[in-house]
A and B are shown apart, each in its own frame.
Chain A
Amino acid sequence: MARQARQWRVGAAGIAGVAVIGLTLSACGGAKVGDSSSDAGGSGGSGKCGTFNLAVNPWVGYEANAAVLAYVAEQDLGCKVTKKDLKEEIAWQGFGTGEVDAVVENWGHDDLKKKYITDQKTAVEAGPTGNEGLIGWYVPPWLAKAHPDILDWNNLDKYAAEFKTSESGGKGQLLDGDPSFVTNDEALVKNLKLDYKVVYAGSETALIQTFRKAEKDKEWVIGYFYEPQWFMSEVPLKKVKLPEYKTGCDADAEKVNCDYPVYKLDKIVSAKFAKSGSPAYDLVKNFTWTNDDQNVVAKYIAVDKMTPEAAAKKWVEANRDKVDAWIK
């Protein structure tokens, strides 16, 4: 017992001694937390905006939209923006629980629209982003240059043997990407009676890497791709013409035999957010820009490796007139 008491005393002395050192240190310790940063926290601007929960779906074009919207909402409207990295399916789930206010680049997704807008009524549309989405089959530029007639689907069978890989079972390989992409390619190959097999790369990363290498090493690759996309500024892939799209030709998923429609990309917000009167909602609703605008910001992020915030700042400062039209 006695020994234990002595040890405690030693310990206490130690604490006291170190505390003294600590205090001496703190006398010349430098800037204190909360001293210098008077503009800390998101309390500037009008207080009524509050928190703006912005879903960020995993592709760079979307991230460009989100970065600019978040930057404007924070700087001009004084909102506290919380970005949430989520896949589409999960982001839409968040509308109902109030954890997601807005999805700002939606590609079609009629199934999700039916589920969350028509049936559950937790989400509403907030107008187009101004971007036009193209989906289709693309080849690397060197191939389009060497064999210009490859850009017509009628000639694809002629080259099928060149596109053979270890994965395509003796046919030409048509490379598809991420499972969340909108695709009719299996039906297209069947209905257009092409000598090709759809092989799933499984991710956008795999798709981009394949095209990048194909251009560099002059390899034969044909695959699914889309615009607007930052990668186009690195390797401008060429689109293959498929039979022209006519309204309704893709109505039956089994019988599709035409090109993909031009997607008017749009914004979806939660029903609650739309009624909240938040200035952030008006911003989202008014936000439109062009494919070129998005590509610039996407390039800043993906190729120049700027942070999304820095990329957004650079673009907003150069395009003040466009931004002012959104928040007027």
Chain B
Amino acid sequence: MTVAVEKTEKPEKPQTSGAVEQPAPAKGVRRVSRSMLVAAILVGWLVLFLVLRGKQNLALAAADLTDLHRWFNDVNDSIGANRNSNPLFLYFFNEIRLVIDSLVTFVQELISQPSAGRPVPQIGWLGVVGIAGYVSWAVGNWRVALLAVAGFTFLGLQGLWQESMDTLALTVSAVFVALVFAIPLGVWAGLSDRFNRFVTPFLDLMQTMPTFVYLAPLTLFFQIGPASATIATLIYAAPPTIRITAHAIRSVPETTVEAADSLGATRRQSLMKVLLPMSKRTVVMGVNQTIMAALAMVTIAALIDAPGLGKTVVQALQTLDVGTAFNAGLAIVVMAIVLDRVTTAASAREETARFSKNRFITWRRPLLAAGAAVTAVLAYLSHTYLWAAEFPGEGSTGSTIRSTADSVTTWVQDNLSGVTNAFRDALTNSLLNPFQALLTDSPWWLVGAALIALAVVLGGWRAGITTAVCVGLLVGTGVWSDAMTTLASTLVATVLVMLLGVVFGVWMGRSALVDRLLRPSLDAAQVMPPFVYLVPFLALFGATRFTAIVAAVVYAAPVAMKIIADGVRNVPATTVEAATSTGCNTWQIITKVQLPMARGALTLATNQGLIYVLSMVVVGGLVGAGALGYDVVAGFSQGQLFGKGLAAGLAIVLLGVMFDRITQAAARRTSA
């Protein structure tokens, strides 16, 4: 996820300047010939498939390994065997671990874990709620402060105070460490094109490599404990800040920088006085994305003993306890919404503070000081008195939520599973199975050639070369056949995502009311850990590839909807009015005006939909999707499959890179 930002920072050069100059009719002809080419490639593929099916398809059984996989295993084993004698460990990894461990322990003792002989942490619930409210008010406004206080109190009412604070402590530590590295790296990438090009593949890798792949090795390097969990989280969470900071630095208007230069500012001065202050608002957005990504890792990090809400979710999953899992998942959602709104308000305040100098400024300082004093007293009380330290009550809201979630899922399972099974079978047999057969039973070189040809037609020569490299590397990973199975499910899921995206996106784009009603559920669907809804989905659709597809759609469709809604809303009102006045009906306006004009948003939504679906491949492996997702989980679970899991993780990254480059190139072409 969160690859969204990448799009905006790509320099938007038109692919070929000649094409833009061409008059409109010629452009139309060109598009027809392009879709003809695509059709020709597909027909050719189908014909060859019928002749050659079942040959050279590089199938590999679940327990089979290639030499590459064994080599990965050996590397992993030798690291494990030498970790106590190797100086790299003694003086490098162990030091990092110590620093991060003490940071996390410090934050935990502050807000979540008993410390220094006390039965409770240094700051109890009253203090934390006070600080959350005060900080939100200071960096944002009173409305988000109210939201923060209400949200944090709700966590306590759910009976999950300590778990929530553990999660918060880990998130805060991971985000803090991530920012220490990410902001300087982002500034560098913003200033230097070469460094930007160098770092982009690494960022892609960090964001698309499934976390399961590096969880086990991380515990080898940094041992079991908060350090490993924090590092796992920050690997995934740091890239958005790096990308967005770089983007922010780049989008400072050139004239401003030139003005500073002409006034004789040194490079350092123009960075500190012009570039950084002017990009502050966008950088805060990056911090927001990093926080969201860190929260998305909560359940995964629980698999290596990270404390907090994730642990509750994972344990509830073992006993199929949907209610408990939902309660904890809801707490994650609440925390995410609070942190999201507060950071968003903070970035907006940056903006308004820069442009307005109203009277409020004079009152602000004394008010801030008074607020700080109140907060200090609250913290002191919660440090000293039990009633302010431990959240009062039994968390009865939590048990209500649990039992409601339980009865709702039971009802849905009992009443809908007949319908859902029929739907699943229809879709699997008519669409998924034939498509998967085409991909997995064709010889690998045929699939590869078809993919490259499609990439060239849709995205140009450069996309074709990237695809060729990716296809080559995919064959090299030794999990080609599994990759093709995954590809089939991924593409079907993306088609569903786009269908939903267009329907709801257009609806939201045309009506502000619908938008306001739907948006909170979209946010929740994105932040709710997938582990929570796996059990009900399993009841509805069984342990099948289709369940994995549905889970991926739930996660990916909100992004597509939001992007398309934005695109539709940005169609100039005058154009729509003009169409209305010429007598177009609603359907015609949507299909003839709004959707064609939002073409850029549609391609971006496709790109993001695909990437988000790919990030759910591993979760799909847990519910019967098999293929790459299963390989990755198996590599995490069994030593002798580690290498294969790593290869499968790399294959997922390669699929992601391949599609990202093709869709981006295609998007540039269509919008050019």
Contact = CB atoms under 8 A, between A and B. Distances in A.
Interface string A176-209: 0011100000100000000000111111111111
Chain B binding site: helix, strand, loop or mixed by DSSP? helix
A118 to B, nearest CB: 12
A96 B305 CA distance: 17
B373 to A, nearest CB: 4
Contacts, number: 223
Nearest to A84: B305
Contacts of B215: 90
Interface string B367-383: 01110111011001101
Contacts of A96: 80, 83-84
Contacts of B428: 166-167
Interface string A34-77: 11110011000000000000000011100100000000000000
A24 to B, nearest CB: 11
B516 interface: no
A2 interface: no
A175 B630 CA distance: 14
Contacts of B120: 33
A199 B543 contact: yes
B396 interface: no
A34 B119 contact: yes
Interface residues of A, number: 77
A115 B634 CA distance: 18
A179 B315 CA distance: 18
Interface string A75-105: 0000000001111111001101101100000
A328 to B, nearest CB: 32
A217 interface: yes
B381 A29 contact: yes
B385 A33 contact: yes
Interface string B542-579: 11111000000000000000000000000000000000
Interface stretch (A11-19, A141-149, A316-324): A11-19
B224 A97 contact: yes
Nearest to B81: A120
Contacts of B304: 86, 90
B639 interface: yes
A179 B630 contact: yes
A32 B166 CA distance: 23
B483 interface: no
A119 interface: yes
Interface string B398-433: 000000000000000100010000001100110001
B200 interface: no
A165 B314 contact: no
Given A14-B369, A166-B433, A180 B384 contact: no
B386 A32 contact: yes
Contacts of A179: 630, 633-634, 636-638, 641
A262 interface: no
Nearest to A53: B224
Interface string B626-643: 100110011011111100
Contact of B320 (A166, A198, A199, A208): A208
Interface string B271-284: 00000000000000
A31 to B, nearest CB: 4
A202 B224 contact: no
B641 A7 contact: no
A176 B118 CA distance: 48
A200 B624 contact: yes
B70 to A, nearest CB: 14
A180 B539 CA distance: 23
A209 B305 contact: no
A153 to B, nearest CB: 21
B325 to A, nearest CB: 10
Nearest to A18: B373
Contact of B319 (A18, A19, A301): A301
A97 B223 contact: yes
B386 A30 contact: yes
Contacts of A120: 80-81
A216 B324 CA distance: 23
30 contacts: A11-B369, A15-B373, A29-B388, A30-B385, A31-B386, A32-B385, A33-B118, A33-B384, A33-B385, A34-B119, A85-B314, A86-B305, A90-B216, A93-B219, A99-B223, A120-B80, A165-B542, A175-B543, A180-B638, A199-B624, A199-B626, A202-B622, A203-B633, A205-B535, A208-B320, A210-B542, A213-B413, A301-B319, A302-B319, A303-B319
The 3 closest A-B pairs by CB, nearest first: A11-B369, A179-B634, A180-B637
Interface of B: 61-63, 77, 80-81, 83-84, 117-120, 215-216, 219-220, 223-225, 302-305, 311, 314-315, 317-321, 324, 365-366, 368-370, 372-374, 376-377, 380-381, 383-389, 413, 417, 424-425, 428-429, 433, 534-535, 538-539, 542-546, 620-626, 629-630, 633-634, 636-641
